[in-house]
Amino acid sequence: MTVYTYRCPHCSEIEAIFPIGTAPAAVPCPDCGAASARTFSAPMLTRTPTAVSTQLQRAERSASEPEVVTSLPRRRSGGAVALHPATGRLPRP
C-alpha cells in the first residue's frame, strides 16, 4: 500500500492509501466533497540509519529540552591519550 497526496481546491492536502498503480487521478474531499487532484512529489527512496536518526532527534530535542546532568561524567581509563592506533605515532611532549 502506498500513500498518495491529493490537493483540494477549497481545503488542504489529503492523504489516501491505495495499492501501487491503482490510485485514481482525483478523489472526493472528505470535508467539502470537491474533486481533489492528485499531486506528485519525489519518492522517499532512502532511509536514514537508526543511529543517525536517533542522534538527529536528540539534537533537535536538546534545543528546547536540554538534558539535566546530575553528576559529572566518568573519566575513561587510559589517561588523556585516546586509544586509537594512529595516536601512537604522534610526537610526545
What CATH number does the domain containing 9 carry? Answer: 2.20.28
What is the full per-residue pLDDT of the chain (93 aa) written as tens digits?
A: 788 899 998 888 888 999 988 889 999 988 888 899 999 877 767 778 888 888 999 888 888 888 788 887 776 665 555 567 777 777 776
**Closest C-alpha to 35, from 61, 62, 67, 11:** 11
Q: Provide the whole-model pTM.
A: 0.46
SS3 of 53, please? Answer: helix
The pLDDT of residue 40 is: 86
Residue 24 in domain = yes
Residue 30 in domain = yes
Residue 46 in domain = no
Rounded to whole angstroms, how far apart are CA atoms 20 and 5?
A: 13
Longest distance between any two alpha carbons in the chain, whole Å: 77
The pLDDT of residue 41 is: 78
The pLDDT of residue 6 is: 93
Range of the domain at 27: 2-39
The pLDDT of residue 37 is: 92
Residue 26 in domain = yes
Rounded to whole angstroms, how far apart are CA atoms 63 and 51?
A: 19
